[in-house]
Chain A
Amino acid sequence: MYCREADVVIVGGGPAGLAAALAAKEAGIDKILILERDTQLGGILNQCIHNGFGLHTFKEELTGPEYAARFIKRVKEAGIEYLLGTMVVDLSPERVVTAMNREDGLFTVKAGAVILAMGCRERPRGALGIPGFRPAGIFSAGTAQRFVNVEGIMPGKEVVILGSGDIGLIMARRMTLEGAKVKVVAELMPYSGGLKRNIVQCLNDYDIPLKLSHTVVDIKGKERVEGVTIAEVDASMKPIPGTEEFYECDTLLLSCGLIPENELTTGAGIEMNPITGGAVVDNTLETSIPGVFACGNVLHVHDLVDYVSEEAANAGRNAASFVKSDKNQNKSEFIQVKTGRGVRYTVPRKIAPEYVDKDVLVRFRVDNVYKDVAIGIAFDGEVARSVKKRTVAPGEMEEIRIKKDELSAHPGCKEITIAFV
């Protein structure tokens, strides 16, 4: 078997992988290798042809392919090596990456550091428990997006969408523009999982109704979808009898959440966070295996690609320091980051105080829609300060920065809690 080496191996050539590679390169690492399973770099951005990307990174509004192109151009100019059509099949705790492609067959790369940037995939119908037959015409929203935008095939004419995540909302507009009739978007939760701007510009602009606290209870049709029945759900998410409504349609799109794609991560025995579905990382984005870092949607699902790029650049820089430190960083003590009332998860989950530069960016999601809340940072149970927010929702990621001074002001702190106060 063909064996090779690289200082930094990046699994995935989407927005996270590209930004991580560039940052590692800028930090002085030369032997970088990106492994990408698709036939082009850019990942899912290639099919996200709508605009709204890059406001933070480039201060202008770009489409997905334009955003990707800017990073791809820089990766090519920097001479960073990448292999396309290459599937990574294994990662060992010793940082040996096993991959395969048509040219090289099965091969291994011994990596100084590894950056996991595999992204996420959509929750499929099988994971939703919708009764009914399995006719043609049921697609995840992202699959439909690829059909319409990349392959040029319309999946159907009359559409019902289950789930109001951003991809579902974007596809409601896209299908409408392409001449389909989108009859309704049903959302199980009492709030939308998507950005408010997408409710306005994708649903309201086209008079597409959004039914909150509703779900699909039956799919009619044996060969092809003929219609779906939607019912209201109660507080425990059980359908309320008598609220059923039948919608005639030939297509059902599912936009019911994204799941980080972590088979490699769990295969390597890396400690996982069951809430995010991603690895547990510290403030340098290092996982439980030294020299293996994670960033982007494989770590936790982001709302904005801009934040993915920012996080991935951080992972790239930290992977570079790991390699330069001769792969021997002694992180002796960690401060655990815990969640409290109202907060579902944080990334990172622990902080290595000696590896804090200026501050620690803690990203988190809340567990419900709240108005006028204060989010507190507590050091070993003492609330040091709080940040006020007008509205928070699970669909919009929040962040808080813990300054280095604050950490030094609490020497010996074991635990930081992020919670409503």
Chain B
Amino acid sequence: METRELICINCPMGCPLTVTIDGENITVAGNTCPRGADYGKKEVTDPRRTVTSSVYVDGGKAVKVPVKTASDIPKEKIFDIMDVIRKTKAKAPVFIGDIIVADICGTGVNLVATKDVERV
């Protein structure tokens, strides 16, 4: 049996979690909401994060458009995803929610725009 002390990152409360791993059986204590229990379990089995960054835009009123992975992605893929983001260019106009890269790095998650950028 193994226990791990974590801080939940789901919201600004930052609840201190104690996750107990007993083979297949994982229990979470210290959470104040169901999201905390989910986070605790995921963090010890399949840690995931949302990646946010920005990509250059061609022909837009802004130089860059901010982007995010539409949902969380496996933590170990963060730098692979950043490599793709750095090589990606969007074309104006861009609207919030537009898919900038579909199924980024085979995660099944799209990279989407988080701001509108008008054409010049």
Contact = CB atoms under 8 A, between A and B. Distances in A.
Contacts, number: 79
Contact of A52 (B6, B12, B78): B12
Contacts of B75: 205
Size range of the chain B interface in the assembly: 20 to 34
A159 interface: no
Nearest to B82: A177
A65 B12 contact: no
B108 interface: no
B93 interface: no
B69 to A, nearest CB: 10
A196 B14 contact: yes
Contact of A63 (B10, B11, B68, B86): B68
Given A61-B50, A152-B64, A197-B7, A46 B12 contact: no
A304 B114 contact: no
A95 to B, nearest CB: 35
B94 to A, nearest CB: 11
Given A150-B62, A152-B63, A177 B53 contact: yes
A200 B7 contact: yes
A152 B52 contact: no
A168 to B, nearest CB: 16
Interface of A: 46, 49-52, 55, 61-66, 69, 148-152, 177-179, 195-197, 199-201, 205, 303-304, 396
10 contacts: A49-B54, A65-B96, A149-B66, A150-B63, A152-B54, A177-B79, A179-B86, A200-B14, A201-B49, A304-B12
Interface of B: 6-12, 14, 49-54, 56, 62-64, 66-68, 75, 78-79, 82, 86, 96, 114-116
Given A63-B68, A177-B82, A200-B9, 16 more contacts: A49-B53, A49-B114, A51-B68, A61-B50, A63-B52, A65-B115, A149-B64, A151-B64, A152-B64, A177-B79, A178-B53, A196-B7, A197-B11, A197-B14, A200-B6, A303-B12
